[in-house]
Structure 1
Amino acid sequence: MEFNKIEILLEKYFEGVTSIAEENELRNYFSSLDVAQHLEKYKPMFSYFLQAKGQMLNQEIPLQSRKRYVAWLSIAASVVVLLGIWIYVFYNHDNGNEKQDLGTYNDPEVALAATQKALALLSNHVNVGIESVYYIKEYQDSKELIFKQ
């Protein structure tokens, strides 16, 4: 009967659902001399647990300080930021000669022709906008006729 109980406890132990009292019962059983023949294979495992329980680690583990790590990390971040600024300035550097062409003309006749061309283009676009306003006025007149305000 006790063998059946131990086998049931072993099943529960391997499924991870045993209580502490049941685990103590298993340890006591496997530490005794009368272990069933077919359960002998589990005896080294439970004897190891008893042995490991008694061992203590006396060696001191040295802890590395994080100050050095933080210092190197901040230096690396500064270098990355400075490199990014330098690349931005290098690739977006505006030459003064390229930006000085403001569309000015030395010859007044050429300037007059360019101005007339620009104003004609502007006039065409304004006229298209005014046509849309005429449609709105027609809509407004029709609405006043229908609703007689």
Structure 2
Amino acid sequence: MESNKIENLLNAYFEGNTSLSEEKILKDYFNNHRVAEHLLQYKPIFVGLHVAGMEKSKQQLDTFEIKTSGIKPWWYSVAALLIIAFGVGAFYLSQPQLTAEEKEALVAFEKSKQAMMLLSENLNKGAGQLDLVDEFTVSKNKFLK
């Protein structure tokens, strides 16, 4: 009966479907000296796992502490805020300040640009009318021939 239970646990173990308690049962069974004859082939696996779990490193690891220079973490926030404020201020102060004469020139430029657009639209309408005259001339020449 115990052999069937162990076989079922082995199948589940190799499929990756066992819990830690079931794996402990398998390790305990195979680390005993009374393993069934047909299951002896699995004994080296579990004995090796047991031995690997018992290994301990004898190497000493040197650890060291990182000493801070006394700067508190909130100072980083203050520094970041000052940098952002400086950047925003520099951006606004670097914007060109126009004189009254330059502002008047910009207004005059906009007005002349609007006038040129109006002229361009009217010329395009006139060019469209000339296309109709050209078509009339072509049709007239066909009848007169």
Normalised to the residue count of structure 1, the TM-score between the two structures is 0.41
Normalised to the residue count of structure 2, the TM-score between the two structures is 0.42
